[in-house]
Each structure stands twice: as structure tokens, then as C-alpha cells.
Amino acid sequence: MSDGTSERTPVDVAVGVLIDGEGRFLLTSRPEGKVYAGYWEFPGGKLEAGETVEQALRRELHEEIGITIGAAQPWKIELVDYPHALVRLHFCKVFEWSGAFEMRERQAMAWQTLPVQVAPVLPGTIPVLRWFAEERGFTGATHGDA
């Protein structure tokens, strides 16, 4: 820190990209009281000490939305520098889960396709929408935010 730069340690976050049989993906809103409340994102949460990405994702999705996931397929890692934290997002695709969806933090959920219809979209979610567009041969805006 003697050079005047701010050294921030990234916070590791496991993120679930749930994809249903129709190819739709699940977005949830950030609950009141959290940074970026009301913004739409893929569900997940911080890794706890000693947890793997898949263990954290399994725990977080059960705690937040009430489901038990099958295999989590590691997909991509993105570093996002938010004003409040430097976050390393570990995105995993999930195609199988059990249990009923329960929004346990009073958040909203929406199954989406491109372009997503919910707004605003969390900045860390936008790269994922671009990756979906590349994979699916989608051209045009991926979301409605300016």
C-alpha cells in the first residue's frame, strides 16, 4: 500500500446458472438491505472457509431459494470490481435440482431467455448474458439496461 494503490483481496463467490429443459435460465433479485438491492442476478453466495465452489453453491442455493442441486459444472470465472468489494465470481452451470423454489430472502425470481426482460441487471451478470449470446448464436442486446 506504500505505492498509493488500494490492494483489495477478492471475495470468492459461487454462482449458480440454473438452466431448465427449455434452455431458460433463472435470475433472482437482490433482497432489500443488500448492496444493489432490486438488481437481478444469478443466485449464489460467498465461499466460507474450507468450502469448494460446488459446496458453497449447494449450501447457498439451499439457504436462499430452497433447492438441492445436482452436479455443478464449472463454467467461467469473472473478476468484478464493485465500489464495495472486489469479487471473483465462479459461475457454474446447473441442469438438475430437486425441491420447490422458495424465495427465503423475500427476493423475486424469473426464468429468462435472451434478451432478459427484467431490469436492472447487476453488472456482474452482464458478462454471463454475453457468454449465453455467444453460445446460442444470439445477436442484439442481451438486456434492457442502458
Per-residue pLDDT at 2: 41
Q: How many structural domains comprise the chain?
A: 1
Decide: 67 and 99 in contact? Cβ < 8 Å. Answer: yes
- Is 132 contained in some domain? no
- Is 86 contained in some domain? yes
The CATH code of the domain that includes 70 is 3.90.79.10
Query: How far apart, in whole angstroms, are the C-alpha atoms of residue 97 and residue 126?
Result: 24
Q: What's the average pLDDT block by block, 10 residues per block, for the chain (146 residues)?
A: 61 98 97 94 97 98 97 96 94 98 96 96 94 95 79
Cβ-in-10-Å burial (0-12, 13-18, 19+) of 38 comes to middle
Per-residue pLDDT at 6: 54
- Is 131 contained in some domain? no
- Is 146 contained in some domain? no
Per-residue pLDDT at 146: 43
Residue 56 DSSP label: H
- Is 129 contained in some domain? no
Range of the domain at 94: 11-113
> Which residues, 6+ apart, have CB-to-CB distance to 98 below 8 Å?
67, 68, 70
